[in-house]
Structure 1
Amino acid sequence: MNRRMVVYILGQMLNAEALLLLFPTAVSFLYREQGVAFAFLITIAATVAFGALCTFRRPQNRVIYAREGFAVVALSWLVLSAFGALPFWLTREIPSYVDCFFETVSGFTTTGASILTEVESLSRGLLFWRSFTHWVGGMGVLVFVMTVIPLGDNRSMHILRAEVPGPMVGKLVPRLKSTAKILYGIYIVMTAIEVVLLLFGGMDLYDSLVHSFGTAGTGGFSVKNASIGAYQSPYIEWVIAIFMLLFGINFNLYFFLLLGKIRTVLQSDELRCYLGIVGASIAVIAVNILPMYQKLGVAVRHAAFQVSSIITTTGYATVDFNGWPQLSRTILVVLMFFGACAGSTGGGLKIARLLLFFRTMRRDLRRMLHPHSVEVVMLDGKPVPEDTVAGANGFFLVYSAIALVTVLLISVDGFDFETNFTAMAACLNNIGPGLGMVGPTGNFSAFSDFSKLLLSFAMLIGRLEVFPMLLIFAPSVWRRR
């Protein structure tokens, strides 16, 4: 383990976070929230100080292998969340540091789960920072830093593999830093387009920015207690619903569109499956809830918004779907686990991984009938390497074990099974709202500090696809080479 290089990169991450904190600081000054601005300035000073301690001496050995990549990713998200929680705690707008940490982890991991019982009373600067963490964490904090700090492609590829969601990660162009810039360029342009469209819908600039941050990062923090439902605007609901779906698509496909490779996009098995699941879910739920809303257009709009919000793991809400029929609620719970596409900002298991799982199962069943047959698992018309297939299967086993242990441990708090199970699903899949006490009109404030820390860890595990967070506890990872 090249510990010196790991510490050095953590210092670079803290320096980057200090720069990012300047944005909510400026917002606080703009809205004349001097006390909040002062809290941000203290946080910036602390972040810069610790960053300087980590980077004052550049390591001579700058080699990064797989285990350094996993360690950097896991520790970066923990450190950024720990420092990012300070403004909430220093202002005492959230008195408990555990609650501050939970809220910040939820922001960076784009989960959107909250301990706040009342959102609108928070200062503008803190609400901006809360939503801005979604935007930063959506594409990946290390992917962002890779566009800035000078790491070689042979080293930063290990970081990209550890942070970018999905069973397979590759370069769009030969230079990895250029790949990161392309991804962020697409991300910024799409966010800007959504901001403009929301402005046309009557939102002011502040609300347009924070809700676009939440949509782009598929996070779901809102500045309204009633979330998107507070605006009572079908136009705004459709704009956000469509952009949630767009940000749930693999960003590589947008790059191929820019190159004019339309056939490559249309041949994507994951995209076709993703859109098929979305369309079928909207149709079934719209029919199921039609008696509640009487008008087909209203039922379709609510169904489309909630399906988009849940499958992309965004977590915005327009209605309290806790009151929907059991069939609709069950479909939404299933979509919590499906998640969006690999290479998107969405969470969950990922459609690509589900496709690999079912196609591997089909192949194994055929082998039972025809033992001597030779068949490979295909995705997008190409054979999938066996190590990728094995990795996806291993992911399911570890993921299931973590889900089971998390539900058992948080059940100590004594809440009903629906609340506990969907709280676990909402955090592990980075969704935000669940059912029961943690439904769209509820929150996580009633859980104990132990459960909040455990669910925070579940959010990090879900965002980093399980293994980076678990590997930092393996002694072999930290042994010197």
Structure 2
Amino acid sequence: METIGPREARALAERRAARVFYVHPLLRHSMVSLAAAGITHLLSAVTGFFSGDVAYSLPVLTWAVLYLGISGVWFAWTRPSRSLTKTEAFILVALAWIFTPLFSAIPVTAVLHIPLIDSWFESISGYTTTGLTTFTGGVDPYFHKYIPSVEEAPPTILWWRAYCQWLGGFGIVVMFFVFARLGGLPAHLVGLAEGRYQRLEPSIAKSLRALMGTYFFLTLVEVLLLYEAGMTLSDAIYHSMTALATGGFSTHSSSIGFYHSVKVELAAIAGMIVGASNFADIYAILMGKRRRLSGEINSLLIVIAVSVSASTLILWRVGVTWAPYHPLREAAFHAISAITGTGFGISDLSKAHDVWKLILSLLMLIGGSVLSTTGGIKQYRLMIMFKNLWWAVKETVYSGIMVTRRVGGYRANPEELLNAFAVITYFFLTWMIGTIALIAFNPEYSAIDAAFEAASALGTVGLSVGIASATASFSAKVIMMILMLLGRLEVIGFFYALEAARRKLRYR
């Protein structure tokens, strides 16, 4: 094989560079959304093919190849004209959470011949790891098209739903870092914009490997737990992906309640709690690393214990007339499903007592840990809120004392305290606005049902009292889609993006 010298190599590089087009960094990196959608459909098509669903896996595979081909050519032949700024990173992440589900929904609309609003709703619910679904077997009232139930949906589409949630949990974030490193985007900017990044190792590359390795390992462990509990291997893999992603999509309309098994419910609970725990802490524990833990896992377990105990007593008082379960079983499963933001269910909550709906609505807004797959306010901010009350008491009682503000072993600076209270405030205001909007456009909904569904969408949970369905109005679907997107970026993330966009337009 003939070798070339430095001069020839430099000349060759210059010729290749001449074929590259330099574009605005936002335009260049926005194609990540198309690539992410393509990867999701590629995985679902391959899995669907091995499931025997050739009729639907082939057209989905065609869309995947088209998406990956276009994005591959785009990344090969373009370069960012400059580095992405911090404000542009905020805009990029917000746009990605809008366009990735949209690109992913288009093939589903084409294959199933259903309205785009329904497939886009399903896609947003998947990537945001919410779990609300329109695949309930009914006619869309606006477009008059039949939307299949999950039992009627082809295996390829069912796997697409699972991959949306599994990748949405952490994969989308990881892919952004990977493409960012290939394209010159500083990876820490994307993490900063989404507000979820935390290094597990000293370098970003090692942190990503550790993150995905932990995610894969925990998914496999959950597969074994569900399989040993009585699920088929296919169902165990499916529900393991959606449990670790705290997404809640299922292969059955009745979710985990389909199995009528305490063992399956306990295995699902284990997956939900792990998925809602801080992955940096889990990684440190698994690897035996000596590092300061966040304290969020302890906080999560305390909140679960208190919520389950209180819920059991309340359900014992009002009675569980809507399900043939002991109050402890109903309280434990649904309280944990709500807090962890998973959305698995074992009973029909549309028939539940209003008190239970209200309790679950509040629990759905809490959420799990910061570096986890769940949504909601997060345990870290909950810890700040309660500790701040104690700090205020100490400073008032012991005049002149300087209280050291520590959360999870780390000193909390004033910016973190302000951010935490801002996010909590935004969450509750958005919940109220979402509830009012649902009732205003759909007067037939009761206030408690609207509040429940708004909390489920905003907390990216997926528990439902029946509003989220194929037969939901166009306005209800749009409102819940907006709430899911806002919840995924903790509301404040979109404010960051809006302010960044306003600033760019102002100083153009």
Give the TM-score taking structure 2 as reference length: 0.84
The verdict on how the C-alpha distance between 1:258 and 1:33 changes in structure 2, with shifts beyond 3 A counting, is closer
The verdict on how the C-alpha distance between 1:410 and 1:301 changes in structure 2, with shifts beyond 3 A counting, is closer
The verdict on how the C-alpha distance between 1:346 and 1:261 changes in structure 2, with shifts beyond 3 A counting, is same
Task: Determine the C-alpha separation between the residues in 2 that align with 1:453 and 1:323.
Answer: 25
Query: Does 2:109 match 1:96?
Result: no
Residues 79 and 183, structure 2, Cα contact 8 Å, conserved in 1: no
The verdict on how the C-alpha distance between 1:451 and 1:299 changes in structure 2, with shifts beyond 3 A counting, is closer
Aligned-residue offset at 1:125:
0.5
Give the residue type in structure 2 aligned to 1:41: L
Residues 215 and 240, structure 1, Cα contact 8 Å, conserved in 2: yes
Task: Determine the C-alpha separation between the residues in 2 that align with 1:418 and 1:27.
Answer: 40
Query: Does 2:140 match 1:112?
Result: no
Query: Does 2:433 match 1:413?
Result: no
More off after superposition, 177-186 vs 136-145: 136-145
Query: Does 2:206 match 1:181?
Result: no
- 1:142-169, Cα deviation, whole Å (9 max, x unpaired): 223424652599811110122254xxx5
How does 1:81-92 map onto structure 2 within 5 Å?
A: 81-92=101-112
Partner residue of 1:449?
474
Residues 207 and 223, structure 1, Cα contact 8 Å, conserved in 2: yes
Aligned match for 1:255, one of 283, 286, 305: 283
More off after superposition, 177-186 vs 63-72: 63-72
Partner residue of 2:8?
none
Task: Determine the C-alpha separation between the residues in 2 that align with 1:220 and 1:155.
Answer: 33
The verdict on how the C-alpha distance between 1:221 and 1:90 changes in structure 2, with shifts beyond 3 A counting, is same
Partner residue of 2:452?
422
Task: Determine the C-alpha separation between the residues in 1 that align with 2:475 and 2:351.
Answer: 30
Query: Does 2:488 match 1:463?
Result: yes
> Runs of 5+ in structure 1 lacking a partner?
none
CA RMSD of aligned residues (A): 2.9
More off after superposition, 130-139 vs 201-210: 201-210
Query: Does 2:312 match 1:286?
Result: yes
Query: Does 2:391 match 1:363?
Result: yes
More off after superposition, 385-394 vs 397-406: 397-406
Residues 427 and 491, structure 2, Cα contact 8 Å, conserved in 1: yes
Task: Determine the C-alpha separation between the residues in 1 that align with 2:212 and 2:185.
Answer: 20
Residues 36 and 87, structure 1, Cα contact 8 Å, conserved in 2: no
Give the residue type in structure 2 aligned to 1:51: S
The verdict on how the C-alpha distance between 1:323 and 1:448 changes in structure 2, with shifts beyond 3 A counting, is closer
Residues 191 and 216, structure 1, Cα contact 8 Å, conserved in 2: yes
Query: Does 2:200 match 1:172?
Result: yes
How does 1:16-415 map onto structure 2 within 5 Å?
A: 16-48=36-68, 50-52=70-72, 54-92=74-112, 95-117=114-136, 118-147=149-178, 150=181, 155-165=186-196, 169-261=197-289, 264-265=292-293, 268-289=294-315, 292=320, 298-325=326-353, 327-364=355-392, 366-367=394-395, 372-411=400-439, 412-414=441-443, 415=445
Give the residue type in structure 2 aligned to 1:244: M
Query: Does 2:489 match 1:476?
Result: no
Residues 11 and 53, structure 1, Cα contact 8 Å, conserved in 2: no
Report the structure number with the largest CA radius of gyration.
2
Give the residue type in structure 1 aligned to 2:299: C
Give the residue type in structure 2 aligned to 1:109: T
The verdict on how the C-alpha distance between 1:400 and 1:334 changes in structure 2, with shifts beyond 3 A counting, is closer
More off after superposition, 30-39 vs 379-388: 30-39
- Corresponding residue SS for 1:59: strand
Aligned-residue offset at 1:315:
0.4
The verdict on how the C-alpha distance between 1:345 and 1:227 changes in structure 2, with shifts beyond 3 A counting, is same
- 1:145-204, Cα deviation, whole Å (9 max, x unpaired): 424652599811110122254xxx532222112212211110110001111222223322
Question: What percentage of residue pairs aligned between the two structures are identical?
Answer: 25
- 1:305-358, Cα deviation, whole Å (9 max, x unpaired): 222211111000112345455554443222111111111111111111111123
Give the TM-score taking structure 1 as reference length: 0.88
- Corresponding residue SS for 1:172: coil
- Corresponding residue SS for 1:120: coil
The verdict on how the C-alpha distance between 1:262 and 1:326 changes in structure 2, with shifts beyond 3 A counting, is farther
Query: Does 2:35 match 1:7?
Result: no
Residues 211 and 221, structure 1, Cα contact 8 Å, conserved in 2: yes
Task: Determine the C-alpha separation between the residues in 2 that align with 1:52 and 1:371.
Answer: 64
- Corresponding residue SS for 1:275: helix
> Runs of 5+ in structure 2 lacking a partner?
1-21, 137-148
- 1:273-308, Cα deviation, whole Å (9 max, x unpaired): 211111122223334445659xx9954343322222
Aligned-residue offset at 1:404:
2.7
Aligned-residue offset at 1:388:
1.0
More off after superposition, 138-147 vs 105-114: 138-147
Task: Determine the C-alpha separation between the residues in 1 that align with 2:159 and 2:46.
Answer: 10
More off after superposition, 391-400 vs 324-333: 324-333
Aligned-residue offset at 1:456:
0.9
Task: Determine the C-alpha separation between the residues in 2 that align with 1:62 and 1:352.
Answer: 36
The verdict on how the C-alpha distance between 1:409 and 1:303 changes in structure 2, with shifts beyond 3 A counting, is closer
- Corresponding residue SS for 1:113: coil
* Count of matched residue pairs: 468
Task: Determine the C-alpha separation between the residues in 2 that align with 1:144 and 1:99.
Answer: 26
Task: Determine the C-alpha separation between the residues in 1 that align with 2:45 and 2:411.
Answer: 50
